[in-house]
Chain A
Amino acid sequence: MRPRLASFGDFRCAHCHALVSSAHLLSGVNNRNHCPYCLWSCHLDLFAAGDRLSACKAPMKPIGLTMKKSRNKYQRERGGELMLVHECVECRTLSINRIAADDDSETVMAVFTESFALGQQVRSRCQGQGIAILDADQAEAVRAQLYGHILERGLLIGV
């Protein structure tokens, strides 16, 4: 087993061309693997997250959301951790990635709503890899994870 490489550092998003910082302080994750503005990623990992061994390097489109069961008891209570599902536009590889602290929540919601129109072929490929794409009936759970329970209770000023 080879050691993983250190993070590649800041980068410019190949999709929306925004400058993205890889600082842990901003993202809260160790391996920044997608743009926090448009949520597109790049196919860099091969065997494990952060190994940077893939030679494909094509853009990866965010196609939906899924819940990953977690060993963290707080996450378990919430039904798991909300994750982004990416699909490589060239080789069609699927991967799930943690949502970073500074990911644009509105864009995450937009990916979620667009995923309702995903074709059966993509869904079954996801299922084949154990990835359950979230449906419209899980919208409340998604909102709760993105915005917390304050919205549900109507405690946020101006809501």
Chain B
Amino acid sequence: MNINDEDDIAVVFRKTLGHYTVRARGRELDCVLSSLIHKQLIFPTADPTSLRRTVREVREIDHVDPVAIGDRVRYVEAGDGRGMIVEVLPRHTKLSRPAPVPGQRVFEQVIVSNADLVLPVFSLANPTPRWGLLDRYLVSAEAADLPSLIVINKLDLAWKNPGFDEEIEIYRRVGYPVLLVSAITGEGVEELKRALQGRQSVLVGKSGVGKTSLLNAIQPGLGLRVKAVGAGEIGKGRHTTTHLEMFALDFGGALVDTPGMREFGLWDVAGEDLAYLFPEMADHVGQCKFGLSCRHDQEPGCAIRKAVMAGTISPYRYQSYMRLREEL
């Protein structure tokens, strides 16, 4: 079989441990990975035109999983509805985080590739929003050069969080679009559908905020499994969605549902670049006597700190910046 044929390109839309479901020409195939994908073959560079290239070294690829949802892949079909992924095609975007695996080495976990829009989902109550986590999602999306649309779910529980307007206004002032929705009452769902139309989007958020409920509200035919959040004052969500999956939307586009993520570290972000990933801070970088080496912490005359004190940058966003800076 000729694996260079364009016909052998598919899109990964579901994965569970070791198994990848790809969609190609309207068909679904259950695929496994070729062992070659886990490795990078290093050839001698002295004579790259040689027809008899010998492998000099085999390197393990620094990924938890080399294939992500949304990847365009080449595959070899086995003929019984199964296949093997033999190549991952270059990604035009990827949303990553450091893999939460024990051990000294840190690996990249690509949550979704080739997405056009990130939807950080938070709920007004049950669980209460962690705005610091939202800042992490937004910074990760900025680092991946992806636009974000903040979705605040459970609008029907607004009475439990009377101060939410002020918090949301912080993000609107920065320039992020914010959509208030309720998967229960359907409020805001039509607007959300318009935003998703024709794009490949990804839902991110912690457990219990209603990502899957939103997906069910957007496209009722999906009938995905949802659970009520745990009882109690904190109202922590329970992990219901346990795998990543991309759903084709009837009105055009696709949406990736992700399991709840309480931890979300930054991948491939250097400390000195962090301020550029806060859009309201980017214009102030390099504007003080410390130039680009300013850490925006205790440097006298720092333009970012001045802007915070003048009220043009939210002190909460600045605090998020400082907390993320400490991690890098």
Contacts and interface: CB of A to CB of B under 8 A. Distances in A.
Interface stretch (A51-59, A61-69, A110-118, A129-137): A51-59
Interface string B298-328: 1000001100110000011011000000000
Contacts of A2: 131, 167, 316
A52 B319 contact: yes
B316 A56 contact: no
Contacts of A5: 319
Interface residues of B, number: 13
Interface residues of A, number: 11
A157 B309 CA distance: 52
Contacts, number: 24
Interface string B120-142: 00000000000100000000000
A46 B308 CA distance: 11
A1 B319 CA distance: 15
Interface string B160-182: 00010001000000000000000
B28 to A, nearest CB: 45
B298 A46 contact: no
B316 A57 contact: no
B7 interface: no
Given A1-B163, A91-B309, A54 B298 contact: no
B298 A55 contact: no
Contacts of B297: 57
Contact of B305 (A1, A46, A52, A57): A57
Nearest to A1: B163
B241 to A, nearest CB: 26
A154 to B, nearest CB: 48
Contacts of B298: 57
Contacts of A91: 309
Given A2-B131, A2-B316, A46-B315, A56 B309 contact: yes
Interface string A1-15: 110010000000000
A56 to B, nearest CB: 6
Contacts of A46: 315
Given A2-B131, A2-B316, A46-B315, A55 B305 contact: yes
Contact of B308 (A1, A52, A55): A55
Contacts of A53: 315-316, 318-319
A2 B315 CA distance: 12
A52 B315 CA distance: 9
Interface in A21-72: 46, 52-57
Contacts of B318: 53, 55
* Residue with the highest number of chain A CB atoms closer than 10 Å, among B131, B163, B315: B315
A5 B319 CA distance: 10
B315 A55 contact: yes
A46 B297 CA distance: 16
Contacts of B309: 55-56, 91
Nearest to B163: A1
Nearest to B128: A3
A53 B132 CA distance: 13
A126 B98 CA distance: 50
Nearest to A47: B315
B318 to A, nearest CB: 5
Interface in B76-129: none
Contacts of A55: 304-305, 308-309, 315, 318
* Residue with the highest number of chain B CB atoms closer than 10 Å, among A2, A52, A54, A91: A2
Interface of B: 131, 163, 167, 297-298, 304-305, 308-309, 315-316, 318-319
8 contacts: A2-B167, A2-B316, A53-B315, A55-B304, A55-B309, A55-B318, A56-B309, A57-B298
Given A52-B319, A53-B315, A56-B309, 15 more contacts: A1-B163, A2-B131, A2-B167, A5-B319, A46-B315, A53-B316, A53-B318, A54-B315, A55-B305, A55-B308, A55-B315, A55-B318, A57-B297, A57-B305, A91-B309
